[in-house]
Amino acid sequence: MDTTVSLAGLTLKNPVMTASGTCGYGVELAPFLDLSCLGALVVKGLSVRRRPGNPPPRIVETCGGMLNAIGLENIGMEAFIEECLPGLGVLDTRVLVNILGESEAEYGVLVERLGDQDGVHGIEVNVSCPNVGKGGIAFGADPCMLEKLIRFLRPKTRKPLIVKLSPNVTDVGEMAVRAEAAGADALCLINTLRGMSVDSETRRPRLANVVGGLSGPAIKPVALRMVWEASGRVRIPLVGVGGICTAQDALEFLICGATAVQVGTAQLRNPQACVEILGGIEEYLERHGIARLADLIGSLRMGS
């Protein structure tokens, strides 16, 4: 059975990836998961300089998910290149780096520097983090700013650019169209949905940042709808993410047009989630007599 998929010029041995921010820089997860079994590993969002992130509490459990307001804490691109990338290079998987800038110029520096590294196979451009004061979301919420940013970044690398879209917009299809027109090689949908949680006893917000990003099973129907909408508007491949916990969840995204899937919150609860999801996908292909996983992508049956 052939589980390979082609994403933005990269061949992935299977469609299952970790989602950015939920597996650190890979090394943290290595004792619990054989990273080489992944289709790709997406590392925590990197900025030009180290970021301390938001003050705690930064994580709250919610019904069917969690809120986070990490604020893009990360070690910065140079520390990543020196300390983490050499270890990732020995893995038999694709390494995608997720980036976040506070300005076009910062995104440009990140794409040039990280795009130059042999061990980096592609760049996921996060224009959608809802938990930071400036940067990211401004680009992800305005179609003109998004298009201008991607046009600016496109000539800076030959590596695939995957644009990670925000669900916190009125028309995600429009954002998808603009990113494709500007030269994106693939799109990733979705980042977290803005939310909040309050302790009624103390009448205080549970997150120090007051608002955070909702992830986990609660957002799956929204993510699935957005992938399906985008698949009808663009030709470039899509990566589906949002609430995927089981093989069945992943299959729904593939059927709705995603070429690959990412697993985030589920990975925090169960570090083996990706392996179990991959096993379930293979079992499904066998049961349905589908020899090539690629034939399942976008195979949603409509009408009677």
Ligand X SMILES: Cc1cc2nc3c(=O)[nH]c(=O)nc-3n(C[C@H](O)[C@H](O)[C@H](O)COP(=O)(O)O)c2cc1C
Judged by CB under 6 A, does residue 70 bind ligand X? yes
Identify the residue whose tokens are 């301390």. 52
Binding mask 93-122 for ligand X (x = CB under 6 A): -----x------------------------
> Choosing from 23, 84, 129, 274, which is the catalytic residue?
129
Q: Please, which residue, 225 or 301, has the CB nearer to ligand X? A: 225
Q: Please, which residue, 25 or 293, has the CB nearer to ligand X? A: 25
The distance of closest approach from Cβ of residue 6 to ligand X in the complex, given in angstroms and rounded to an integer, is 22
13: its two tokens: 């041995």
* Residue 96 three-state SS: strand
- Binding residue for ligand X, selected from 192, 209, 231, 259, defined by CB under 6 A: 192
- Binding residue for ligand X, selected from 230, 241, 277, 293, defined by CB under 6 A: 241
User: Measured in whole angstroms, how far is the alpha carbon of residue 63 from the centre of its chain?
Assistant: 22
Judged by CB under 6 A, does residue 157 bind ligand X? no
Judged by CB under 6 A, does residue 167 bind ligand X? no
Smallest Cα–Cα separation from 91: which of 69, 121, 115, 112? Answer: 121
Active site residue 129: yes
- CB 73, CB 132: distance < 8 Å: no
- CB 131, CB 72: distance < 8 Å: yes
Q: What is the phi/psi pair of residue 299, to 5°?
A: -95, 25
> SS3 helix, strand, coil % of the chain, rounded to 5?
35, 20, 45
Q: Please, which residue, 134 or 288, has the CB nearer to ligand X? A: 134
Count of residues near ligand X by CB under 6 A: 26
Helix residue ranges, H only, 117-240: 137-141, 143-153, 172-181, 220-231
* Residue 16 three-state SS: strand
- Binding residue for ligand X, selected from 243, 271, 281, 293, defined by CB under 6 A: 243
Q: Which one of the spans 65-73, 89-97, 110-118, 153-161 is the region binding ligand X (CB under 6 A)?
A: 65-73
Judged by CB under 6 A, does residue 131 bind ligand X? no
Instruction: Mark 214-232 as b/e (b = at least 16 C-beta within 10 Å).
Output: bbbbbbbebbbbbbbbbbe
Q: Which residue, judged by CB position, is nearest to ligand X in the bound state?
A: 21
Q: Which DSSP state fits 211?
A: E
- Binding residue for ligand X, selected from 14, 20, 54, 93, defined by CB under 6 A: 20
Residue 255, judged by CB atoms within 10 A of its CB (0-12, 13-18, 19+), counts as middle
The distance of closest approach from Cβ of residue 288 to ligand X in the complex, given in angstroms and rounded to an integer, is 25
- Binding residue for ligand X, selected from 17, 165, 182, 263, defined by CB under 6 A: 263
Q: Which one of the spans 48-56, 143-151, 238-246, 287-295 is the region binding ligand X (CB under 6 A)?
A: 238-246
The distance of closest approach from Cβ of residue 203 to ligand X in the complex, given in angstroms and rounded to an integer, is 26
- CB 266, CB 257: distance < 8 Å: no
126: its two tokens: 């996060």
Binding mask 22-51 for ligand X (x = CB under 6 A): x---------------------xx------
- Binding residue for ligand X, selected from 108, 135, 216, 237, defined by CB under 6 A: 216
By DSSP bridging, strand 238-241 and strand 193-196 are: unpaired
Q: Which residues are catalytic?
A: 129
Q: Which residues bind ligand X (CB under 6 A)?
A: 19-22, 44-45, 68, 70, 72, 98, 126, 129, 164, 191-192, 215-216, 219, 241-244, 263-266
